[in-house]
Amino acid sequence: MSRPSVLITGGAGFIGRHVAAEMAGQGYDVIVTSQRAAPDASQPWRTLTCDLLAADAPSLLAATGADTLVHLAWETTHGQFWNSPANLDWVAATLRIARAFREGGGRRFVGIGTCIEYDMTGLEPIDEVTGPTRPTILYGIAKDATRAILQSYAAQSGMDFTWARVFHLYGPDEKPTRLVPAVITAMLRGEEAKTSAGTQARNFIHAADAGRAIAAVAMSELTGPVNIGTYAHTTVAEVATLIAAILGRPELLRIGAYPTKAEEPASLVPKLDRLRSLGFKPQFDLASGLADVIRSMKAGIPA
């Protein structure tokens, strides 16, 4: 029997490289697409350099003959992607890619969703089977709409379909304006690190663990939505406090310096029974994950 094969769009990205590494390690024949990255013979996967928004992308992807498609690529520019019109292009491209993949013989499609697809007004951990979706931001609406269409199309066309809803990510090489790198950067510079009161319940998962969780989902037989997170919830204030403790700079912490935005959900955390059913175990807890980011950021600072 030949090796199972997987095509990973955005496979050179923040999460994708971890999905690729995990599946390659599990014996998959891995092909990653990247808009920019050139093939890299040092990696245990092949790279297909292509523009996924181009008209010929669906047929290029289908021609790889991959059995499984993990579709990570999407507009993700921090500060822009929530309401970017590029979300429309990514919905369009994703539907075209999914159809071409299926009609080319593809068996299993793993789409990537987001916790902001959910109704975020509740206070309890959200179950992916019973938790209703009620997105209010274009990015979440576009993702939920894509999921709804592909779930129906998959049922019609006999394709396995699963949808990995990722909660709050952090990790090395994150955009510097996001919470974790912003707090770390300020403290490494000896500057005050300002946050909101940060009492909101959240679930922060290290990108490497998110990648490994998505890989576990991709290699499983699960269908439908699956939450991607860690087994311990936290708050934004706890994240900032932990960073300060690791760096030994608690005096720089200014929790509550920014007002809490009215639209910030009080709680946005997942139930993880489905992920747990796969035996998935995160590699990082919050302390070791933040330490990993700090190590990476220190290494990136010129001496």
Which structure tokens are listed for 138?
A: 């274009």
Yes or no: say if 229 and 272 are a contact pair by the CB < 8 Å rule. yes
Does residue 81 touch a second copy according to CB under 8 A? Answer: no
Q: Alpha-carbon distance 264 to 209, whole Å?
A: 25
Pick between residue 50 and residue 95 the one whose CB is nearest to a second copy: 95
Pick between residue 146 and residue 230 the one whose CB is nearest to a second copy: 146
* Minimum gap (Å) between residue 50 Cβ and a second copy: 15
Does residue 50 touch a second copy according to CB under 8 A? Answer: no
Print burial letters for 148-185: b (CB count within 10 Å at least 16), e (below 16).
eebbebbeeeebbbbbbbbbbbbbbebeeeebbbbbbe
CA torsion sign for 136, 142, 143, 147 is positive
Quick check: helix, strand or coil at residue 158? Answer: coil
* Minimum gap (Å) between residue 142 Cβ and a second copy: 5
φ and ψ of 69, to 5 deg: -120, 120
Does residue 87 touch a second copy according to CB under 8 A? Answer: yes
* Minimum gap (Å) between residue 70 Cβ and a second copy: 19
Does residue 96 touch a second copy according to CB under 8 A? Answer: yes
| Burial class (CB within 10 angstroms; exposed 0-12, middle 13-18, buried 19+) of 60 | middle
Does residue 141 touch a second copy according to CB under 8 A? Answer: yes
**Candidate residues 30, 52, 66, 93; the one interacting with a second copy per rule CB under 8 A:** 93
DSSP-derived pairing of the beta strands 160-166 and 224-228: parallel
Stretch that binds a second copy, among 32-40, 42-50, 141-149, 289-297 (CB under 8 A): 141-149
* Minimum gap (Å) between residue 25 Cβ and a second copy: 33
Pick between residue 54 and residue 245 the one whose CB is nearest to a second copy: 54
Q: Alpha-carbon distance 138 to 87, whole Å?
A: 7
**Candidate residues 57, 142, 226, 244; the one interacting with a second copy per rule CB under 8 A:** 142
List the interface residues with a second copy, window 145-164 (CB under 8 A). Answer: 145-146, 148-149, 152-153, 156-157
* Minimum gap (Å) between residue 158 Cβ and a second copy: 12
The closest alpha carbon to 246, from 172, 180, 199, belongs to 180
Does residue 129 touch a second copy according to CB under 8 A? Answer: no
Q: Which residues bind a second copy (CB under 8 A)?
A: 55, 83, 85, 87-89, 91-93, 95-96, 98-99, 102-103, 137-138, 141-142, 144-146, 148-149, 152-153, 156-157
